[in-house]
Amino acid sequence: MHRREFIKKTAITGAICLTPSFLNASSTPTIKEGLAVYELRWSFDLSHHSTKECSLWVPLPSDINGFQRIIELGNTTNAESHFESDHNLCGARTFYVHWEKSAVSKTLEITMSIALRDRQCDFRPKRICPETLEKAREFLAPSAHIPTNGAVAKVAKSIVGGEKNPLKKARKIYDWIVANSYRDESVQGCGVGSPNAMLATLEKEGRMGGKCLDMSALCVALMRASAIPAREVMGIRLGASRLSPAFGAGEDNTKAQHCKVEFFIPNMGWIPCDPADITKLVLKEGIDKNSPRARELANKFFGFWENNWMALNHARDFNLSPANTQGTLDSFGYPYGEVDGEYLDPFDPRNYRYTFHSLRGVL
């Protein structure tokens, strides 16, 4: 069986203090101020593979300035070998666990506290350091699942036309994705994330069905083909949304993975957006994508991430460390496991035996 998804860092430890610049310590944070704290518990039990060698790679979050701060991170496991690492091409933070065949019990629990603030771009020019600019240019390159030539290049050119302003080009691409795609609930997980497959469907059927990774990957490919650095960001919803039930999750968020997008503008930095969630809004609320509500939220989600979603990584087409048996991963939004070297399907958490839970905390 073949694999897919995951990444990021080494040695889960201790607490990180929330700084005044993040919490705005001069006042008591409220929901209206866009700040939320969540307590997470991720539990894994591979004991039913009692006579087999088991390895597990779990994607972990990292701090994101102004949006996401890890307060505390810890683990409990009976594994012989376990550590945290970000030794991979994407720097994706990962907790690695390995159990020998002789281990009768194979369990892991990861706990964390995380603070999230609404991420809202004001689109005002900022001073961006040369190192940030240089690093962002790496996200212009194609990869196995993110082509920038062929059909992608042709469609990108037809969307942006003669527009030179990178922010306006990005908005044209974002609007085009929303206008031409729809959420297909039959798609497994977050989708495959193949821009060429999406465009082939559009050419054949006149519209494109998929889920968040499908639309995010196409958005990223079209932006890169238009000379705009961009990347998918894998993550997970942790709680209810203030904006719509379509954007939220319950306390059991085992299946609440969601992929968003961010793109880079030289005088503004990284800008968040989420075209896929607008297609989910249209489906879940039964509204027209051209309705005032859909248009209002489409405008808002160009430059916005809500504080009920936690980012994990932007890893695509990369190799895990320590190396897995099945090889290169497509992406890393789900736990990745192998039993005697065979891929363990993360889209079947009941058989895999893992659960994700979160509780809204109080500051």
- The per-residue pLDDT for range 145-196, each reduced to its tens digit, is 999 999 999 999 999 999 999 999 999 999 999 999 999 999 999 999 999 9
286 vs 29, more confident: 286
Domain 119-306, CATH = 3.10.620.30
Q: Checking DSSP bridges between strand 119-120 and strand 336-339, what pairing results, if any?
A: unpaired
33 vs 50, more confident: 50
* Residue spans per domain, the chain: 20-117+317-360, 119-306
Q: Is the pLDDT of residue 67 over 80?
A: yes
Give the pLDDT confidence score for residue 95 in this predicted structure.
Answer: 98
User: Distance of CA 286 to CAs 2, 213, 240, Å?
Assistant: 36, 22, 19
Give the pLDDT confidence score for residue 188 in this predicted structure.
Answer: 94
HSE value, Cβ hemisphere, 13 Å, CA-based, for 157: 7
Residue 261 CB contacts under 8 Å (≥ 6 apart), including other chains:
216, 219, 220, 230, 231, 232, 233, 272, 273, 274, 275
Mean pLDDT of the chain: 90
How far apart, in whole angstroms, are the C-alpha atoms of residue 59 and residue 92? 7
Nearest 10 degrees: Cα torsion 80, 81, 82, 85: 180
74-103 tens-digit pLDDT? 999 999 999 999 999 999 999 999 999 999
Give the pLDDT confidence score for residue 31 in this predicted structure.
Answer: 40
Instruction: Name the band, by pLDDT with cuts 50, 70 and 90, for residue 280.
Output: very high
Q: What is the DSSP letter of 138?
A: G
Instruction: Name the band, by pLDDT with cuts 50, 70 and 90, for residue 362.
Output: low
How far apart, in whole angstroms, are the C-alpha atoms of residue 8 and residue 58? 8
In sign, the C-alpha dihedral spanning 23, 29, 33, 35 is positive
Q: What is the mean pLDDT of the segment spanning 191-206?
A: 95
